[in-house]
A and B are shown apart, each in its own frame.
Chain A
Amino acid sequence: MSDFLDFAAEHLPYILAGVPTTLALWILAITFGFFFGLVLAWCRIYGKKPAYWASTGYIEIFRGTPMLVQMLFIYLGLPEVGLTFDPFTAAVIAIGLNTSAYQAEYFRGAIQSIPQGQMTAARAMGMSDLQGLIFIVLPQALRRVIPQWSNEAILELKFTSIAFAIGVTEITARAETIGFKTFRFFEIFLIVAAVYFVLTATVAQILHIVERRTAVPGLTLGR
């Protein structure tokens, strides 16, 4: 046991030095996914035929193929047609595009769950459709989507680990490096799993607090 603790003490700093990369990758990707997801949801709900079909096709393709394949395609495939990205950027793009497809579907469901009368009342007082969306529908839909969105965000935090496959030195890549240097894979992957667990538990707790503090009677399911 003390042997394990010594090993952990020796290598944990190197692993933890990858946390900023992991978090940066995650935050950039889910933020991009958030805004692009909203645009996709808008196209699916309010868009004319071309926008509807384009967004639907996009969502189906990105949900229907593995994220690792998407990432490898962006990092290794696109340079052949003249689009070159460094590993970190390629990973952000891949995870961001992928999560936008999932977030779009959650947003769509939440927006459509808001009763029609809310938008009707907004229009009746003289709001444009965009104002009605921004001031009335979205504040309600976003509150409702928090539980599903939290799941998605935590899923993506764990998915940042596949960026190691294209050489981003986030925490999984660092663990692998130590593993091959020391051949103590058992310990090192236990340690990195624990680091992920602390990160996801913290994020889950923060999102839970956000959910509680934004809750409104009659809109979200109280507890």
Chain B
Amino acid sequence: MSALLEVEGIRKKYGQFEVLKGVSLQLERGQAKVVMGPSGTGKSTLLRCINYLTPPDAGTVRLDGEEVVPRNLNRIRQQVAFVFQDFNLFTHLRVIDNITIGPRRILGLSKTEARDRAMRELERVGLADKVRAYPAELSGGQQQRVSIARALAMEPKVILFDEPTSALDPELTGEVVNVMKRLASEGMTMLVVSHEIGFARSAADEIVFMDGGHILEQGPPAQLFDAPQHERTRRFLRMIGDQVGDAAAAGEGA
């Protein structure tokens, strides 16, 4: 059986600067992969190229064997959820409406169906008591958990996480990481750009190390963390090991 998500030869240039120099990776059903690497290596750009929020210059993306093209883009995006670094909850909607708007307006569920589904997902992220709150009334960690519930309510085939804890204070990252660990253990297919070593070690099936627009090496966490092949990987791991909190707090950008 072919992989659920197949990314092949993605290239992306900003002006003269080539951010992605032909990146390929595969994600099997139920697999959780974590993408790591220094700032400006194109990790976030890769994620955005996968659902065409940033259209790649070259390369293909296949979901379940179907190639992503402009014509089927909106339909593919319903099955590839995206969790943003800065949450991007809809400011004018209460928590419950943030979660139901996709199922109702895009998937065409009835009001009660969408509501039931939203409540189920809110319980999953432990925020059932915040149904009526507005995003501005929540902490960063709570906002990110709501945005994960919003992603789950679309019942996607895969969720892309773009540095989901980078905008959070260190004491708030734990609650988000715990939710993500649970999802991974429940068999959700996930592609995660993050430097959360804890999550990567315990929940990821595979780590992808990117540098300079390439994938330098990939493998199971034990292999990549404990016996990295490349000097560049070793140096990077040493650096984030030295400043675990700082690396997350510094954020990544593109």
Contact = CB atoms under 8 A, between A and B. Distances in A.
B91 A140 contact: yes
Interface string A113-140: 0000110111111111001000110011
A219 B77 contact: no
Nearest to A214: B92
A126 B92 contact: no
Nearest to B147: A121
Nearest to A139: B92
A143 B81 contact: no
B137 A217 contact: yes
Contacts of B51: 124
B91 A125 contact: no
A218 interface: yes
A123 B88 contact: no
Nearest to B160: A124
Query: Interface extent on A, as a size class?
Result: 20 to 34
Given A118-B90, A216-B92, A219-B91, A135 B74 contact: no
Interface in B35-82: 51, 53, 74-78, 81-82
B209 interface: no
Looking at A118, A126, A128, A216, the one whose CB has the most chain B CB atoms below 10 A away is A126
B236 interface: no
A126 B84 CA distance: 15
B154 interface: yes
B107 to A, nearest CB: 9
Contacts of B86: 117
Contacts of A140: 91-92
Interface string B101-122: 1100110000000000000000
Contacts of B84: 117, 120-121, 124
B225 interface: no
Interface of B: 51, 53, 74-78, 81-82, 84, 86, 88-92, 101-102, 105-106, 134-137, 150, 154
Given A121-B84, A127-B74, A128-B74, 18 more contacts: A117-B86, A117-B88, A118-B90, A120-B53, A120-B88, A122-B90, A125-B77, A125-B154, A126-B75, A126-B77, A126-B78, A127-B106, A136-B92, A140-B91, A218-B137, A219-B91, A219-B92, A219-B136
Interface of A: 117-118, 120-128, 131, 135-136, 139-140, 143, 216-219
